[in-house]
Homo-oligomer: A and B are copies of this chain.
Amino acid sequence: MSEKPHALSTDPYKGVRDFYPEDMYVLSYIIETMREATERFGYLEYGASLLEPAELYEAKTGDEIVNQEMYTLTDQGERRIALRPEMTPTLARLVAKRRLELGFPIRLFSIPNVFRYERPQRGRLREHWQLNADIFGVESIEAEYDVIALAAHIMHSFGASDADFRIHVSDRGVTQALYDHLNLSEETRIAVGRIIDRKAKIDAATFHSQLTEALSDEAAVETVCSVVEAEAVEALPQEIRDTDAAHRLDALLETLKRRGIANVVPDLSIVRGFDYYTGPVFEVFDTHPDNNRSLFGGGRYDNLLEIFDAEPVPAVGFGMGDVTIRDFLETHNLVPHYTATTDLFLCTIADGSREHAQQLADDLRAQGVNVEVNLADKKVGDQVKLADKHAIPFVICIGEREMETHEYTLKALASGSERVVTADAIADALYEMWQSDPLDYTP
């Protein structure tokens, strides 16, 4: 043991978060809501280590991430490893490895933490948790319908109404058709793509002047604008509207609306950062003026298995992060009120009452009640205060009378209401008192 010359800081590493119980409650709520909603749609959960060979991300991902934003280290065996910046390459690796055994189509999901070295700011941290939901083995837009329906279902599960968010749908194929139509060089495509990607963040004049600079052709600028501003597939220029990609986009929008997903719009300005997308892409936006931004998105990536020299398998998926979802929930006042997972605190106020409390606690635990027994030498008032501070909704005080009569006064701390019950009636009484006053107690 080495002596340290200075005291250690109690702060976490920059850009990551500590989760005290009330913070963990919100993270768990977000993760469990995502998990339950995704399982409802028949997705199966997988997982993997966050440590991956670094070259997995160098093969086919955004350059920006690989060069500037990825955490890498070299282990003692001289292997270059990375902390995963995203989950899709890992999922592609798992699918490629068992391509012949998995059985397609297969719906898969995971809720991993992912890492990026970037300046911490609103909605962006160095570590966040991200639902990844993907379908492998479906070439048709039925896969897009399924993942977009799931995305909407998750938003509804968080308590959002259709008015709170809007689903913007684009198609990489339409963008390619536009570039082909304009005969753009590879270099110009990249430059124009970056300008389009920034469109929501810059004003119309700047957007127009940047496009003019990149294209040096006013007619081409007008064509690009007419595409990225089109509010319907029919509004696209004829040469673009007649492509397979535009027909696919039209069919997807029509299918979504016919099956009840109303808050969906075409938006050809949606680009998405990753290079691996090959077809339809989508982003979900918050419609609230205080948080008018993209929340999450995804798309089709049919060729990613090629990096493993495996036969391609068509794939569609999306990623949804906990930080932007928490911002959304806060903006719309949808964050649940914190209550401890502990249901009941047993105060001990007489000689021998701890032994009695431990026995009662064991009996109640066997009935599914989460029980804490006081272990402190505190007065009863301070014990109750501690239970309240820890957001435990119910208390029972064990004194001489209770040890003699085996009758207990169950008290709800938020409302102050009380009930006198025998031991075997405590679990039911807890449930009934919660039902009569649900704000005090979320199970």
**Binary per-residue interface labels of chain A (2-18) against chain B in the complex, 1 for a CB within 8 Å, 0 otherwise:** 10100111111110111
A60 at interface by CB-CB < 8 Å: yes
Q: In the bound complex, what is the Cα–Cα distance between A40 and B362 (angstroms)?
A: 9
A309 at interface by CB-CB < 8 Å: yes
Which residues from 346 to 388 on chain A have a C-beta closer than 8 Å to any C-beta of chain B?
354-355, 358-359, 362, 365, 368-376, 386
A236 at interface by CB-CB < 8 Å: no
Q: Are B104 and A376 in contact (CB under 8 A)?
A: yes
Q: Are B73 and A73 in contact (CB under 8 A)?
A: yes
Q: In the bound complex, what is the Cα–Cα distance between A24 and B140 (angstroms)?
A: 29
Q: Are A308 and B10 in contact (CB under 8 A)?
A: yes
Q: Are A345 and B96 in contact (CB under 8 A)?
A: no
Copies in the complex: 2
**Binary per-residue interface labels of chain A (275-304) against chain B in the complex, 1 for a CB within 8 Å, 0 otherwise:** 100000000000000000000000000000
Which residues from 118 to 167 on chain A have a C-beta closer than 8 Å to any C-beta of chain B?
126-127, 135, 137-138, 140, 142-143, 146, 153
**Binary per-residue interface labels of chain A (383-426) against chain B in the complex, 1 for a CB within 8 Å, 0 otherwise:** 00010011010000000000000000000000000000000000
Q: Are A18 and B48 in contact (CB under 8 A)?
A: yes
Which residues from 15 to 52 on chain A have a C-beta closer than 8 Å to any C-beta of chain B?
16-21, 23-25, 27-28, 39-52
Chain B contacts for A153, CB-based, 8 A: 365
Q: In the bound complex, what is the Cα–Cα distance between A56 and B2 (angstroms)?
A: 12
Q: In the bound complex, what is the Cα–Cα distance between A137 and B376 (angstroms)?
A: 8
Q: What's the interface size class on A, roughly?
A: 35 or more
Which residues from 171 to 203 on chain A have a C-beta closer than 8 Å to any C-beta of chain B?
none
Chain B contacts for A369, CB-based, 8 A: 40
- Which of B28, B127, B373 is in CB contact (< 8 Å) with A51? B127
21 contacts between A and B (CB under 8 A): A2-B59, A8-B55, A9-B53, A12-B48, A13-B52, A13-B53, A13-B79, A16-B48, A23-B47, A24-B44, A24-B46, A24-B47, A39-B342, A41-B370, A42-B345, A43-B342, A44-B340, A103-B389, A103-B390, A137-B376, A259-B358
The 9 closest A-B pairs by CB, nearest first: A42-B372, A7-B309, A16-B49, A19-B47, A10-B97, A73-B73, A21-B44, A42-B342, A103-B389
Please report A residues at the B interface, Cβ cutoff 8 Å.
Answer: 1-2, 4, 7-14, 16-21, 23-25, 27-28, 39-53, 55-56, 58-61, 63, 71-73, 75-77, 79, 81, 93-94, 96-98, 103-108, 113, 115, 117, 126-127, 135, 137-138, 140, 142-143, 146, 153, 259-260, 275, 307-310, 340-342, 345, 354-355, 358-359, 362, 365, 368-376, 386, 389-390, 392
